[in-house]
Chain A
Amino acid sequence: MTDGTATITLSARNLCRHYGSHIAVNGIHLELKRGEVLGLLGPNGAGKTTTMRMLTGNLAPSAGHIEICGIDLLDNPQEAKAHLGFLPEIPPLYQEMTIDEYLLFAAKLHRVDQSMISAALRLAKQRCGLEDRSKRLISTLSKGFQQRVGIAQAIIHNPDVIILDEPTVGLDPNQIREIRSLIRELGTVSSVILSTHILPEVEAVCDRVQIMHKGSLVFDETLTGLQQQGIQLEAAFTQLTHSDE
């Protein structure tokens, strides 16, 4: 990887997605630098999940380009996906596996080198606080722990871009704090996109915030920029997503 592409890990240009005549996502631009945490906000049905599914190769865009670490996701999906970690809204867990079996499968699926697998497993479990539950079946875990296994799965291969769809749903306040500090930690070496409904969460962990409404981006500002201009995130959110109703 050259220095030029190392700074920008994910770039999406003019991303569109239609379902028949319904336009779910319309001309979105996204750019993410290494070491940046981006908060993606928006009311329900704004197109956040559709955007994330397109960025992770689960859905083909109707128009537009996506590059991950300089590799085109549509032309070269396998190479590009190797740099991606994704936690969907509902964690993709095999209930009948133990945590260790599941993470081992996820590691192999994401092409973690055979010699590095046990170290990668240990690190992911340690980061998500799962060490003492390795042999438990996933179906016996509480919602919060299942969510953590989902996050562990997304970071096991040390991806450059981590995409988390509502990662703190169903967690208790202590777990939320732990996960937020984990996201901050991940954000120092990788790029993170975080979708959420919780505005304080964005203020706590994100460097930059983008607001989506009816399939378009209506707001893009860094958190320091917000503070300098004295804009309240909540006020901006309400104003932008309520204006035309």
Chain B
Amino acid sequence: MITTIIRKELSVLFNSPLAWILLALIQFVLVWAFLGRLDAFLELQPQLLQIANPPGITEIIIVPVFAMAAILLLMITPILSMRFLAEERRNHTLTLLISAPIAMTDIVMGKFLGLMIFFCVVIALIVALCLTLLMGGALDFGLLLSNTLGLFLVAASFSALGLYISSLTAQPVIAAVGALGVLLGLWVIDLAAGESHEWLRHISLLKHFERFNQGLLDTFSIAYFVLFVATFLILTIRRLDGERLHG
């Protein structure tokens, strides 16, 4: 049953121009950043040769590109996730899903996984972009892998939160603005973390993504993302169930 929902979500997504425009836009912005970093690297190269243990192309080009990709995903996820439940509710199609012999968990997971498949395409395109560097040199595959995993985990976190906020309202635009606001807040919350509020740093999405960005596979960060995703998916399921109970 989950596959039925996933297929429907993907076909709706790819039958509309939205998905294609977003894919093109992400790719355009990232290629721009990528070429900019490549230029910078070529300029720096003579100086780098004089350093004993110089940073390679992975550190100089790929790491900033992934950092930028994370910000881009933060901005586009609300646009994609706003439709999920808010639009179903506004168009009264949620009734069709709820009257059908399918569990609430399957509906929510189907929508979440559908969005994750879209993000896998986005991430695959970014990785392909980075692999073109192999034509001119060697890559640090460990660092590339940790960045890919990090980007996948932040995308999952954004999607789960977007899905939950979409379940709270019948207005897609409010869902989008709400999700964007909360995500930005969680992203920059570490700025507010001074000496006395050390714990704020631990709930910042950015801080945890930075670990992966630097090539560090920290189990604390992995656990944070997994818990973040699970929490918001469960909240979404509970929210839909609660609607049935409380009307």
Contacts and interface: CB of A to CB of B under 8 A. Distances in A.
Interface of A: 17, 19, 56-60, 77-82, 84, 86, 88, 90-97, 101, 105-106, 108-111, 153
Contact of B12 (A79, A80, A96): A96
B11 interface: yes
Query: How many of chain B's residues touch chain A, expressed as a range?
Result: 20 to 34
Contact of B99 (A58, A60, A111): A58
Given A58-B98, A81-B101, A92 B92 contact: yes
Given A57-B244, A79-B101, 14 more contacts: A17-B247, A57-B98, A57-B99, A59-B244, A59-B247, A78-B101, A81-B101, A86-B95, A86-B99, A92-B95, A92-B96, A94-B12, A106-B96, A109-B1
Contact of B11 (A91, A101, A111): A101
Contacts, number: 67
Classify the secondary structure of B's interface with A: helix
B244 A81 contact: no
B37 to A, nearest CB: 39
B172 to A, nearest CB: 14
24 contacts: A56-B98, A57-B98, A57-B99, A58-B95, A58-B98, A59-B244, A59-B247, A60-B245, A78-B101, A78-B102, A81-B99, A86-B95, A88-B95, A88-B99, A92-B91, A92-B94, A92-B95, A101-B11, A105-B8, A106-B96, A108-B4, A109-B1, A109-B4, A110-B101
Contacts of B96: 92, 106, 109, 153
Contacts of A108: 4
A90 B92 contact: yes
Given A60-B245, A88-B95, A94-B93, A81 B12 contact: no
A94 B101 contact: no
B23 interface: no
B100 interface: yes
A93 to B, nearest CB: 7
Q: For B15, B96, B103, B247, which residue has the most chain A Cβ atoms within 10 angstroms?
A: B96
Nearest to B104: A77
Contacts of B99: 56-58, 81, 84, 86, 88
A60 to B, nearest CB: 5
B91 A93 contact: yes
B99 to A, nearest CB: 4
